A and B are shown apart, each in its own frame.
Chain A
Amino acid sequence: MAKKVAFLQGNEAAAQGALYAGCTFFGGYPITPSTEVAEVMSVELPKIGGKFIQMEDEIGAMASVIGASLTGAKVLTATSGPGLSLKQELIGYACIAETPCVIVNVMRGGPSTGMPTGPSQSDVMCAKWGTHGDHPAICLTPASVQELFEETVRAFNLAEKYRTPVMVMPDEIVAHMRERIVFPEPGELEVINRTAPSVSPAEYKPYDTSFGDVPPLAAFGSGYRFHVTGLNKGQDGFPTTKAAWVQAEEERQVRKVDANIDDIVQFEEYELADAEVAIVAYGSTSRSARFAVNEARKQGIKAGLFRIKTFWPFPEKQIAALAGKVKAFITPEMNLGMCTGEVKRCAEGKAAVHGIFRVDGEPINPGQILEKIKEVK
């Protein structure tokens, strides 16, 4: 049977990916340029018995998805820059309460209201450091409409597997552009569900680490009762200040991601085998970079592309290895050097790092990157 094909917008693909992954709840507050995610969910969720709710603001929206997730539902919210800032308090809550949820954040100009319709990549640091305290962070940066579908499915899988919030961060170009998409058949992409408790309600503890770093999560309404709080908590979910326990728990929560980097980090290497100049790029900027690499190769310049698909956890090991091989890195991005700083950190001075930064609401075009390749080769 021929697969279903459509010409879809990135945001529409994110919503369809969420539905494929089994999302049954969306709580949100509309904001350009992410609104189409909410629009699709508001049409599709009622058809499958799911729930869509537009909350009073982004903080309420984030709270609503945490509550819905605790009932066992797979949950989604979508927002952009200023909305992401508002959600941060509750994102921290989801981290410490270990509640699976997926946040699609479409990157537009900032800070504050910034440039609502202009593209940007300046929220990538906010994905890791936006909420205070030590906490795990997973952030995916897809570069095409097809990938936005697939990475949203993967975001749900990671959220459920590691009991933690996961962010999908397309820039405005990827979120708003339209491309052909081939819908995967049901079962074609892996869909992971959270682990349910194997013990009786009387024996159940929501943070029982004897089951491993990711304790099983019971659904409210299924006969299991437990306490949920933003305070540091014991195995039973009630607040605790026992020093050794709190230390161990903070470390465990971060370890859920740190010990599983190879399971989480994905990237694409293009023409890197003999490359002397490596471009490190993500999102729509990686498409300009690929264009520039092809042009450079035509002119006999050994350029390649390391495309980041998983921004957090950062592909440290891979960048460090590349630093030992290439002469220079070029890091084009629609911010003033966020990924560039990470690449410098990983390169540890072994290769020069040259940034190309744009925050004027215009994309970084292939010509700009090609020029830089010629300059540093």
Chain B
Amino acid sequence: MSQRYEIRFSGAGGQGLILAGVIMAEAASIYDGKQAVQSQSYGPEARGGASKSEVIVSDTMIDYPKATVVDALLALTQEAADKYSHDLKEGGVLLIDSDLVKNVPKGNFNTVAFPIINTAKNEVGREIVANIVALGAMVALTGVVTKEGAEKAVLARVPEAFMELNKKAFQMGYEKAIAARA
């Protein structure tokens, strides 16, 4: 891949989307040996408000650190889906939480939907790992980083006691995304 690949994680402040972006970028940069830049934009609120985290991955030097045309977008809230899907590329990927984004943005892209937060809460066991479920799904859908690299990056960020929980969240997101895409 010599081209830029642009990923945007969006939702509400407090959902852990900035961290999900950081982990994706670390997977690309540290474990997969590519170039990566992660940036973020959020409101002054500690919780709530639209929040986004962008990751650019490339084989060559990355100049502009923000998204230009987005290859893959995650939207965990309706507000984020409405606000951040306008510059999604033709043929790009849109991943949404099917419980929270009822009004699905229309466009020439592939939409994948499953209940991300509900998966974290009821199947993994903790709502707090919804960002890692979403990350697993984005890794599966974009193919821009290796699954192994991403898993290592997740575990490097998590305290010992929560490794299994996060591993499970990542794996479940990965599998559910593939099933939902099919």
Write out, one digit per residue, whether chain B residues 25-69 have a CB within 8 A of any chain A CB (1) or not (0). 110011000011111111110000000000000000001111010
With contact pairs A7-B29, A177-B39, A178-B22 given, residues A290 and B63 touching in the complex (Cβ less than 8 Å): yes
Contact of A284 among B22, B65, B68 (CB under 8 A): B65
CB distance from A285 to the nearest CB of B (A): 10
Write out, one digit per residue, whether chain B residues 62-81 have a CB within 8 A of any chain A CB (1) or not (0). 01111010000000000000
- The answer to whether B39 and A173 touch across the interface, beta carbons within 8 angstroms, is yes
- The answer to whether A176 and B64 touch across the interface, beta carbons within 8 angstroms, is no
Q: Give complex CA distance A291, B69 in Å.
A: 14
CB distance from A42 to the nearest CB of B (A): 20
With contact pairs A177-B39, A178-B25, A179-B36 given, residues A365 and B68 touching in the complex (Cβ less than 8 Å): yes
User: Which chain A residue shows the least CB distance to B66?
Assistant: A363
* Total number of A residues with any Cβ neighbor in B under 8 Å: 23
CB distance from B32 to the nearest CB of A (A): 11
- Asked if A5 lies at the interface with its beta carbon under 8 angstroms from chain B, I say yes
CB distance from A97 to the nearest CB of B (A): 36
Q: Which of chain A's residues 266-284 have a Cβ closer than 8 Å to chain B?
A: 284
- The answer to whether B41 and A365 touch across the interface, beta carbons within 8 angstroms, is no
For A227, list chain B residues within 8 Å (CB). none
CB distance from B23 to the nearest CB of A (A): 10
Q: Give complex CA distance A367, B67 in Å.
A: 12
* Total number of B residues with any Cβ neighbor in A under 8 Å: 20
With contact pairs A7-B25, A117-B44, A178-B37 given, residues A366 and B64 touching in the complex (Cβ less than 8 Å): yes
For A367, list chain B residues within 8 Å (CB). 68
With contact pairs A284-B65, A290-B63 given, residues A5 and B30 touching in the complex (Cβ less than 8 Å): yes
For A177, list chain B residues within 8 Å (CB). 37-40, 65
- The answer to whether A180 and B44 touch across the interface, beta carbons within 8 angstroms, is no
Q: Give complex CA distance A294, B44 in Å.
A: 35
- The answer to whether A178 and B64 touch across the interface, beta carbons within 8 angstroms, is no
Interface residues of B, dominant DSSP: mixed
With contact pairs A180-B29, A180-B36 given, residues A288 and B64 touching in the complex (Cβ less than 8 Å): yes
With contact pairs A7-B25, A117-B42, A117-B43 given, residues A291 and B63 touching in the complex (Cβ less than 8 Å): yes
For B39, list chain A residues within 8 Å (CB). 173, 176-178
Q: Which of chain B's residues 149-181 have a Cβ closer than 8 Å to chain A?
A: none
- The answer to whether B66 and A365 touch across the interface, beta carbons within 8 angstroms, is yes
For A5, list chain B residues within 8 Å (CB). 30
Contact of B44 among A116, A173, A363 (CB under 8 A): A116
Q: Give complex CA distance A51, B36 in Å.
A: 34
Residue of B37, B44, B65 ringed by the most chain A CB atoms within 10 A: B65
User: Which chain A residue shows the least CB distance to B22?
Assistant: A178
- Asked if A161 lies at the interface with its beta carbon under 8 angstroms from chain B, I say no
For A178, list chain B residues within 8 Å (CB). 22, 25, 37-39
- Asked if A287 lies at the interface with its beta carbon under 8 angstroms from chain B, I say yes
For A32, list chain B residues within 8 Å (CB). 44
Residue of A6, A178, A179, A284 ringed by the most chain B CB atoms within 10 A: A178
- The answer to whether A287 and B44 touch across the interface, beta carbons within 8 angstroms, is no
CB distance from B90 to the nearest CB of A (A): 17
Q: Give complex CA distance A366, B65 in Å.
A: 11
CB distance from A373 to the nearest CB of B (A): 15
Q: Give complex CA distance A5, B30 in Å.
A: 8
Write out, one digit per residue, whether chain A residues 150-191 have a CB within 8 A of any chain B CB (1) or not (0). 000000000000000000000001001111100000000000
Write out, one digit per residue, whether chain A residues 354-369 have a CB within 8 A of any chain B CB (1) or not (0). 0000000001011100
Q: Give complex CA distance A173, B37 in Å.
A: 11
For B29, list chain A residues within 8 Å (CB). 7, 179-180
Q: Which of chain A's residues 56-73 have a Cβ closer than 8 Å to chain B?
A: none
Instruction: Give 28 A-B contacts (CB < 8 Å), ordered by A residue.
Output: A5-B30, A6-B30, A7-B25, A7-B29, A7-B30, A7-B36, A117-B41, A173-B65, A173-B66, A176-B39, A177-B37, A177-B38, A177-B40, A177-B65, A178-B22, A178-B37, A179-B65, A180-B36, A284-B65, A287-B63, A287-B64, A288-B63, A290-B63, A291-B63, A363-B66, A366-B64, A366-B68, A367-B68
Mark A residues whose CB is within 8 Å of B.
5-7, 32, 115-117, 173, 176-180, 284, 287-288, 290-291, 294, 363, 365-367
Closest 7 CB pairs of A and B: A177-B39, A291-B64, A290-B63, A178-B38, A291-B63, A287-B63, A180-B29
Given A7-B29, A287-B63, 6 other A-B residues pairs in contact with their CB atoms under 8 A? A173-B66, A177-B40, A178-B25, A363-B66, A366-B64, A367-B68
